[in-house]
Chain A
Amino acid sequence: MNFMASTQPENRLLGPQSDSQRTLYPYVTGTSVVALKYKDGILMAADMGGSYGSTLRYKSVERMKPIGKHSLLGASGEISDFQEILRYLDELILYDNMWDDGNSLGPKEVHNYLTRVMYNRRNKFNPLWNSLVLGGVKNGQKYLGMVNMIGVNFEDNHVATGFGNHLARPILRQEWHENLSFEDGVRLLEKCMRVLLYRDRSAVNKLQIAKITEEGVTISQPYSLKTYWEFSAFKNPTQGAVGSW
């Protein structure tokens, strides 16, 4: 054992034993989640990939889960931290149900709870390495929010995590409008997911689209997008690029 264990470093964050007690880097990660509000509720899309660094190791990871009666949670980032968050939320919903008083936690409340958890973990330098998308409908009110590992949280008509922020949000800013129909919403999400599939190296072509309305949650069966690789720019990608081979 460690003979110098009697004097532990005062700041537990510095010192040999401290590093095994906090998250330093993620290991198995999920990539972007994209979500938007539509006429009846929220639509969310995420692929089913779990990457181990640059290896696309797990191809059937469900990164969207229903929470209670009114919410849907999608996560990108470290998958094991997502599973831990699901356990916290499970306990939260269980205690809420046990009151049996006709009330239940809505998406706004769940989002706030998650924000507190993420921010407090960040303050202890032991983050849950995720970017979370929380969407839901309660009493006719649609809600869509996001919170990430440093505790930044906000609410908007359309959100995305990771690469989705750079590739999908510009598309959504142009083409999103109030009261999208279900078909239009799915088409828009698929457009975003297709761009991500072409350009994000950790994307896999197996995705699910989830919908949450006042009636409840439906998560689609996994399916793949049709891709087109005959674009002339793909044929000879380095033409004109100086120094490329």
Chain B
Amino acid sequence: MSSIGTGYDLSVTTFSPDGRVFQIEYAAKAVDNSGTVIGIKCKDGIVMGVEKLITSKMMLPGSNRRIHSVHRHSGMAVAGLAADGRQIVARAKSEATNYESVYGEAIPIKELAQRVASYVHLCTLYWWLRPFGCGVILGGYDRDGPQLYMVEPSGISYRYFGAAIGKGKQAAKTEIEKLKLSELTCREGVIEVAKIIYKVHDEAKDKAFELEMSWVCDESKQQHQKVPDDLLEEAKVAARAALEEMDAD
């Protein structure tokens, strides 16, 4: 799918003869080069996981958060250019607090996804702005239950049962499709997400990575928060064991 759009790829306001906007496609490539980000919708909530590639041994574990809370009931996992991601998160936070101050209730996830998607799309309309080089997985729990949305650099946003972006997204999607999501609780979902991330991590190309996970579920009282440390450890252990089992074959 990588074609050189000679001459038609200089500006985001230029269409190519076959109806593509190359700048947006190039922005999507920035997302594809980042560490894998997964989100799944379980029976009672959402679980999101990020494969945080560690570029330097000096980095403190737990820093460079890739999953951010947008409001009490929702969170966003970011893939791609981290600085661009920060902008999107800041905008989402601002939209959420604005909605609450006007309407008196927490922003419905559908509405939040629409607003974030509009904002990302906005930056694809003007030649003096560049598109965001990041994709976002937005998970939240409102009165319609748990919901998972994904927003791409083009501004497209769809609702998903399971979504993956980044390097290992194809492999991750295959793994997610194997899961019976409607029967999984979030506790089980955390273990599964950890297993998938460990599995799609490419040992050859990228050396170390840190696993960051968050959830919004009944167990967390519909609040978005980091997965508790003990459960995270349990998940990492299970994931490593599953990998070894696979390698042993």
Residues of A that sit less than 8 Å from B by CB: 87, 91, 94, 97-98, 100
CA distance A91 to B214 in the complex (A): 22
Note all chain B residues with C-beta closer than 8 A to A87: 101
Contact B226 A94 (CB under 8 A): no
Note all chain B residues with C-beta closer than 8 A to A100: 65, 69, 214, 225-226
Note all chain A residues with C-beta closer than 8 A to B71: 94, 98
Note all chain A residues with C-beta closer than 8 A to B214: 100
Contact A98 B97 (CB under 8 A): no
Note all chain B residues with C-beta closer than 8 A to A94: 71-72, 97
CA distance A94 to B225 in the complex (A): 13
CA distance A87 to B97 in the complex (A): 11
CA distance A114 to B155 in the complex (A): 41
17 contacts between A and B (CB under 8 A): A87-B101, A91-B97, A94-B71, A94-B72, A94-B97, A97-B69, A97-B72, A98-B68, A98-B69, A98-B70, A98-B71, A98-B93, A100-B65, A100-B69, A100-B214, A100-B225, A100-B226
Note all chain A residues with C-beta closer than 8 A to B225: 100
Note all chain A residues with C-beta closer than 8 A to B65: 100
- The 8 A CB mask of B92-128 against A (1 = contact, 0 = none) is 0100010001000000000000000000000000000
CA distance A74 to B7 in the complex (A): 67
CA distance A239 to B214 in the complex (A): 74
CA distance A166 to B65 in the complex (A): 52
For A102, the closest partner residue in chain B by CB is B226
CA distance A87 to B72 in the complex (A): 15
Note all chain B residues with C-beta closer than 8 A to A97: 69, 72
CA distance A87 to B70 in the complex (A): 18
CA distance A71 to B68 in the complex (A): 25
Note all chain A residues with C-beta closer than 8 A to B97: 91, 94
- The 8 A CB mask of B77-104 against A (1 = contact, 0 = none) is 0000000000000000100010001000
CA distance A218 to B226 in the complex (A): 27
CA distance A85 to B165 in the complex (A): 42
- The 8 A CB mask of B214-249 against A (1 = contact, 0 = none) is 100000000001100000000000000000000000
CB distance from A111 to the nearest CB of B (A): 23
CA distance A87 to B65 in the complex (A): 28
Given contacts A91-B97, A98-B71, A100-B214, 14 further A-B contacts (CB under 8 A): A87-B101, A94-B71, A94-B72, A94-B97, A97-B69, A97-B72, A98-B68, A98-B69, A98-B70, A98-B93, A100-B65, A100-B69, A100-B225, A100-B226
Note all chain A residues with C-beta closer than 8 A to B68: 98
For A91, the closest partner residue in chain B by CB is B97
Note all chain A residues with C-beta closer than 8 A to B72: 94, 97
CB distance from A11 to the nearest CB of B (A): 31
CA distance A100 to B216 in the complex (A): 13
Note all chain B residues with C-beta closer than 8 A to A98: 68-71, 93
Note all chain A residues with C-beta closer than 8 A to B69: 97-98, 100
CA distance A70 to B72 in the complex (A): 18
List of 5 A-B pairs having minimum Cβ-Cβ separation, nearest first? A98-B69, A100-B69, A100-B226, A100-B225, A91-B97
For A93, the closest partner residue in chain B by CB is B72
Note all chain B residues with C-beta closer than 8 A to A91: 97
Q: For window 131-178 of chain B, which residues contact chain A by CB distance below 8 Å?
A: none
Note all chain A residues with C-beta closer than 8 A to B93: 98
CB distance from B224 to the nearest CB of A (A): 8
CA distance A98 to B70 in the complex (A): 7
CB distance from A199 to the nearest CB of B (A): 39
- The 8 A CB mask of B50-77 against A (1 = contact, 0 = none) is 0000000000000001001111100000
